[in-house]
């Protein structure tokens, strides 16, 4: 079942955030959504890891957090179906993946056309997948960064919404580079959300 792309919404856009880790991007997005100028509400968080640090973030925010443990499902399709069911039951309009370490299948992704965002720690199309900071250093790149994009069925693929760059320093390690990139991730995701919400409102 596809979400209707043709209709615009006058009320607040209902946002779900998917996460697997400590939830730093989720916290930043939640703070941004809570500002008066943003016509949206953070209605649901979903994690696939029962011990994810971001669960505590949700508790502090007072946001409903649903745990759907992927290890309890026999297949990726079964997990995705349960996730889709939960999101639709919450009447979600827009999904933001923020450190969600699961590949979603084509049926799921295609069911949310341009309503499914992802953030990736590289300047896509460079360095899809894992260990992006290490790979950028090994390649001798002079700049690195992050990308917020519309999700497509292929991993880390889809139209770019916002990119932010950082210089790569001679003294950088993967950890030091990652620390500077995540600062830009927090800015990039809020900027990208503004772009998408404006588009969804028909402006």
Could you read off the pLDDT of 69-127 as tens digits, one per residue? 999 999 999 999 999 999 999 999 999 999 999 999 999 999 999 999 999 999 999 99
pLDDT of residue 5: 41
Within a domain: 61: yes
* pLDDT class of 4 with cuts at 50, 70, 90: very low
Q: Residues of 151-168 as b/e, b for ≥16 C-beta within 10 angstroms?
A: bbeeebbbeebbbbebeb
pLDDT digits (tens, 9 = 90+) for 119-142: 999 999 999 999 999 999 999 999
Catalytic residue among 70, 91, 120, 149: 120
134: domain range? Answer: 13-200
Within a domain: 3: no
Within a domain: 188: yes
Within a domain: 31: yes
Within a domain: 7: no
Within a domain: 1: no
pLDDT digits (tens, 9 = 90+) for 154-185: 999 999 999 999 999 999 999 999 999 999 99
Q: Is residue 32 annotated as a catalytic residue, yes or no?
A: no
The encoded tokens of residue 94 equal: 């827009």
Domains identified in the chain, total number: 1
pLDDT of residue 134: 98
Pairing assessment for the beta strands 143-150 and 116-120 based on DSSP bridges: antiparallel
Q: What is residue 169's DSSP assignment?
A: P
Rounded to whole angstroms, how far apart are CA atoms 137 and 181?
13
pLDDT of residue 10: 65
| CATH code for position 156 | 3.40.50.170
The number of beta carbons lying within 10 Å of the beta carbon of residue 80 is 22
Within a domain: 74: yes
């Amino acid at each position: 079942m596809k979400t209707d792309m043709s209709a615009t919404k006058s009320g607040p856009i209902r946002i779900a955030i998917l996460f697997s880790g400590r939830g730093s991007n989720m916290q930043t997005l939640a703070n941004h959504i809570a500002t008066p100028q943003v016509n949206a509400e953070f209605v649901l968080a979903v994690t696939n890891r029962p011990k994810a640090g971001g669960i505590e973030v949700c508790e502090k925010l007072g946001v409903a957090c649903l745990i759907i443990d992927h290890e309890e499902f026999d297949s990726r399709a079964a997990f995705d179906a349960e996730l889709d069911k939960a999101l639709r039951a919450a009447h979600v309009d827009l999904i933001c993946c923020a450190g969600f370490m699961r590949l979603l299948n084509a049926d799921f992704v295609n069911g949310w056309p341009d309503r499914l965002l992802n953030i990736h720690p590289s300047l896509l199309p460079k360095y899809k997948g894992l260990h992006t900071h290490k790979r950028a250093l090994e390649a001798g790149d002079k700049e690195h960064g992050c990308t917020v994009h519309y999700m497509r069925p292929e991993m880390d693929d889809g139209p770019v919404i916002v990119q932010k760059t950082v210089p790569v320093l001679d003294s950088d390690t993967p950890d030091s580079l990652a620390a500077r990139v995540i600062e830009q991730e927090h800015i990039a995701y809020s900027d990208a959300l503004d772009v998408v919400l404006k588009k969804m409102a028909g402006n």
